[in-house]
């Protein structure tokens, strides 16, 4: 069909299409009562007025969801009390006027739905754009679904799932027929919609399931669809699952087990025990069975954890039996699940206990103090810490101030100390300045090792160095030196062109700490300009500081171009400068070239520098090629003192 054929349009969209689109356009922010209110509207103008209710939510919700995409931002939407809104009339709002302007320009007589859709892309207001887009898709799928699908397959594949979902609602039989005919192009959308297809036309799901690929450990579209079939008719679902091939068959059998176990865990378990032991995916089937059983009988499912191995192909939460079962159990009956953990303290590992995190987080958001009281007083509070720690690092961090206030009210205990440390480390990763303020407030309640852990966490592997640098001068006096010392360890994440402030900060360090810090500066400087780094090392007046900086520069240079670096060292006159450079070169290349490292080590004149370089190269070669290492020992040029040191037990 011609994608741009003329399609007559109504002057305004139908009430039904606007109603559906407005509800869908901000379904993530509208409450159930708001959507219910929308469904009672009886005219287009009233629908647009209702749209203003949702539009009023956009300033609250959109900044939050945009923050979700930022690195390190893992937050949950806060509960928002909506104010009473005094809305203008639908006509005064401008929504209808804008829509009618679009219709007048692009339709109905001379335009097409495709042209209207292209015009909607230019709408800058996010609410209007989403509402108009959803309304148009609804209208298009009602009038000419095949044309709409053809258009979106070519021009905007991101809307395919929305189109098919709407078509499935309007005309399930036709929508499913289109999915079957175009499964190769539509399989990603079929995967997402498979559970909805089960509800619309159960007998169509198995054939479509064969087209669904499992892309990650977290996607279980086939399993979840067959879980619905299994919960309705285990025998029929099992027969359908057996018709599938490959990984889809395993996922389908896992879904049958899950749904069946919700109805009758013992019966599902009897069936699963009869499965062939060498059946590929049997562990996953058993794991899914337990997760389904946990939804109806948490304690029974948890008691049977041993029927499935603890983890899958990778030890992550998505593949951990205990984690998945505990997650389902906690969601079904949190109190019963906590009681089971109390009776089975220490039975579950860290990955499994993480399964409690989601439900614990919901409780924490509802009432932080009461939830923390429950965990504190729980007989197996140590077992609940992994889930609590996960929350403190992720969604629960939004409650940091309430949790910190709760900690301040508590008597000292292992649980309180560990919770305080976990919250401090989470704050260090996310808000270094907050963590430093809390560290100062906690003076005396944390030992030096705890403080060190928080300081290290503040840098987040070096990625937070700019944030730490921004607060360095404002840091509490007792922590500033620790932060500064640690900062030099992470200069590798810093732009080598901005090292001047760090060079100036060397004088703020204790004298005995300056050599190592100078080596860190030189390493980073040499990653861009080895000559500059070596010249800077030579400019330092303190001999020890200068030699450390030289070693740092050489090690960085050797890592980039060992041949060029070795040529430079070979031209140096004998003396301390050359010895330190040769030692740094030998240490840098020893893993890749132990024989070259050995020969460079032999050229070092200073015995204190030569001995460790020889020893490292020799023992590495001894583990790889004992015969060559033995030949080195019998080298007549090797001093007897070095030979004795290398053979000393």
Give the pLDDT band (50/70/90) at residue 609.
very high
Phi/psi at 304 (nearest 5 deg)? Answer: -105, 20
If one counts every other C-beta atom within 10 angstroms of the C-beta of residue 7, the result is: 19
* Residues 23 and 130: beta-carbon distance below 8 Å: no
Token couple for 89: 């009339």
**Which region among 249-263, 303-317, 488-502, 536-550 has the lowest average model confidence (pLDDT)?**
303-317
Long-range Cβ contacts of 101-106 (<8 Å, 24+ apart)? 102/132, 103/9, 103/11, 103/12
* DSSP secondary structure, 543-560, as one string: HHHHHHHHHHHHHHHHHH
Asked whether residue 26 carries a pLDDT value surpassing 70, the answer given is no
| pLDDT-derived band at 492, boundaries 50, 70, 90 | confident
pLDDT at residue 49, rounded to an integer? 41
pLDDT at residue 30, as a whole number: 39
Residue 214 has a pLDDT of 77
Q: Please report which confidence band the pLDDT of residue 216 belongs to, taking 50, 70 and 90 as the band edges.
A: confident
- Per this entry, what is the length of the chain? 649
**pLDDT of 112:** 79
Question: Which residues, at least 6 apart from 188, have a Cβ–Cβ distance to it below 8 Å?
Answer: 160, 161
24 or 173, higher pLDDT: 173
Mean residue pLDDT across the chain: 83
Q: Are the C-beta atoms of 255 and 241 separated by less than 8 Å? A: yes
- Residue 78 three-state SS: coil
| Residue 102 and residue 108 in contact, taking contact as beta carbons nearer than 8 Å | no
pLDDT range class, residue 329, cuts 50, 70, 90: very high
123 burial (CB, 10 Å; 0-12 / 13-18 / 19+) is: middle
In whole angstroms, give the CA distance from residue 319 to residue 307. Answer: 15
Q: What is the CA radius of gyration of the chain?
A: 33
Residue 504's SS3 state is helix
pLDDT tens-place string over residues 549-572: 999 999 999 999 999 999 999 999
Is residue 234 within 8 A of residue 263, CB to CB? The reply is yes
Q: What pLDDT is recorded for position 330?
A: 96
Give yes or no for residue 339 having a pLDDT over 90.
yes
Flag whether pLDDT at 211 surpasses 50: yes
Residue that wins the pLDDT comparison between 103 and 10:
103
3-state secondary structure of 506: helix
Element (H, E) at 647: helix 640-647
Least confident of 38-42, 145-149, 493-497: 38-42
Instruction: Give the mean model confidence (pLDDT) for residues 387-394.
Output: 93
Res. 509: pLDDT tops 50: yes
Band of pLDDT at residue 110, cut at 50, 70 and 90:
low
Is residue 79 pLDDT above 70, yes or no? no
Predicted pLDDT at 467: 87
pLDDT tens-digit profile of 365-384?
999 999 999 999 999 999 99
Q: How far apart, in whole angstroms, are the C-alpha atoms of residue 324 and residue 2? A: 49
pLDDT > 70 fraction of the chain, expressed in percent and rounded: 82
Most confident of 104-113, 274-283, 502-511: 502-511
Contact 359, 317 (CB under 8 A): no
pLDDT score of 448: 87
Q: Tell me the per-residue pLDDT of 220-270, one tens digit each, with 9 for 90 and over.
A: 999 999 999 999 999 999 999 999 999 999 999 999 999 999 999 999 999
Decide: 168 and 196 in contact? Cβ < 8 Å. Answer: yes
The predicted model gives 498-505 an average pLDDT of 90
Entry pTM: 0.69
Q: In 10 A of CB 409, how many CB atoms?
A: 8
pLDDT at 93: 54
Residue carrying the six token digits 């401090």: 424
The DSSP annotation for 283-332 comes to HHHHHHHHHHHHHH-HHHHHHTGGGS-SB-SS-SGGGBHHHHHHHHHHHH
In sequence order, which ranges of 409-463 are alpha helices (DSSP H)?
414-430, 432-441, 448-459
């Amino acid at each position: 069909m011609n994608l741009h054929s003329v399609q007559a349009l109504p002057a305004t969209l139908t009430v039904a299409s606007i109603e559906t689109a407005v509800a869908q356009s901000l379904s993530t922010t509208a409450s159930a009562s708001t959507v219910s209110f929308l469904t009672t509207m009886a005219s287009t103008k009233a629908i647009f007025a209702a749209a203003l209710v949702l539009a009023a939510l956009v300033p609250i919700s959109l900044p939050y969801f945009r923050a979700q995409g930022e690195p390190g931002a893992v937050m949950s939407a806060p509960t928002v009390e909506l104010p009473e809104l005094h809305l203008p009339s639908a006509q005064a709002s401008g929504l209808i006027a804008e829509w009618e302007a679009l219709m007048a320009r692009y339709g109905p007589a001379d335009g097409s739905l495709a042209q209207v859709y292209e015009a909607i892309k230019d709408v800058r207001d996010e609410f209007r754009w989403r509402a108009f887009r959803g309304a148009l898709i609804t209208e298009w799928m009602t009038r000419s679904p095949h044309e709409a699908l053809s258009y979106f397959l070519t021009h905007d594949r991101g809307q395919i799932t929305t189109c098919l979902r709407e078509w499935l609602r309007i005309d399930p039989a036709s929508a499913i027929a289109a999915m079957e005919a175009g499964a190769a192009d539509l399989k990603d959308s079929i995967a997402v919609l498979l559970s909805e297809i089960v509800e619309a036309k159960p007998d169509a799901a198995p054939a479509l399931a064969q087209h669904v690929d499992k892309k990650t450990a977290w996607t279980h579209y086939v399993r979840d669809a067959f879980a619905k079939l299994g919960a309705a008719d285990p025998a029929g679902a099992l027969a359908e699952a057996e018709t599938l091939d490959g990984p889809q068959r395993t996922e389908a059998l896992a879904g049958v087990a899950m749904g069946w176990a919700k109805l009758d865990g013992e019966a599902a378990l009897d069936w699963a025990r009869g499965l062939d032991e060498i059946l590929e995916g049997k562990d996953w089937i058993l794991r899914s069975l337990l997760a389904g059983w946990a939804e109806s009988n948490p304690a029974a499912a948890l008691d049977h954890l041993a029927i499935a191995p603890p983890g899958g192909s990778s030890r992550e939460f998505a593949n951990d039996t205990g984690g998945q079962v505990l997650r389902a159990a906690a969601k079904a009956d949190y109190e019963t699940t906590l009681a089971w953990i109390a009776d089975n303290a220490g039975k579950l590992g860290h990955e499994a206990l993480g399964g409690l995190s989601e439900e614990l987080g919901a409780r924490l958001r509802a009432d932080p103090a009461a939830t923390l009281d429950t965990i504190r007083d729980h007989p197996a509070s140590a077992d609940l810490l992994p889930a609590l720690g996960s929350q403190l690092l992720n969604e629960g961090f939004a409650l940091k101030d309430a949790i910190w206030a709760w900690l301040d009210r508590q008597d000292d205990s292992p649980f309180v100390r560990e919770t305080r440390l976990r919250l401090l480390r989470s704050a260090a990763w996310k808000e270094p300045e907050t963590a430093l303020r809390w560290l100062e407030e906690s003076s005396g309640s944390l030992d030096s090792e705890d403080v060190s852990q928080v300081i290290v966490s503040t840098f987040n592997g070096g990625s937070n160095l700019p944030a730490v640098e921004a607060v360095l001068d404002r840091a509490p006096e007792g922590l500033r030196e620790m932060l500064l010392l640690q900062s030099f360890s992470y200069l590798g994440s810093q732009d080598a062109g901005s090292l001047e402030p760090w060079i100036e900060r060397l004088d703020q360090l204790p004298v005995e700490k300056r050599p190592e810090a100078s080596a860190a500066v030189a390493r980073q400087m040499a990653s861009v300009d080895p000559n500059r780094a070596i010249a800077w090392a030579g400019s330092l007046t303190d001999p020890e500081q200068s030699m450390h900086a030289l070693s740092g520069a050489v090690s960085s240079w050797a890592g980039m171009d060992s041949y060029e670096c070795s040529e430079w060292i070979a031209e140096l006159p004998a003396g301390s400068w050359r010895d330190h450079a040769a030692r740094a070169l030998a240490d840098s290349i020893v893993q890749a070239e132990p024989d070259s490292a050995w020969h460079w080590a032999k050229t070092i004149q200073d015995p204190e520098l030569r001995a460790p370089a020889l020893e490292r190269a020799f023992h590495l070669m001894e583990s790889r090629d004992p015969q060559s290492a033995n030949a080195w020992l019998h080298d007549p040029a090797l001093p007897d003192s070095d030979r004795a040191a290398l053979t000393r037990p």
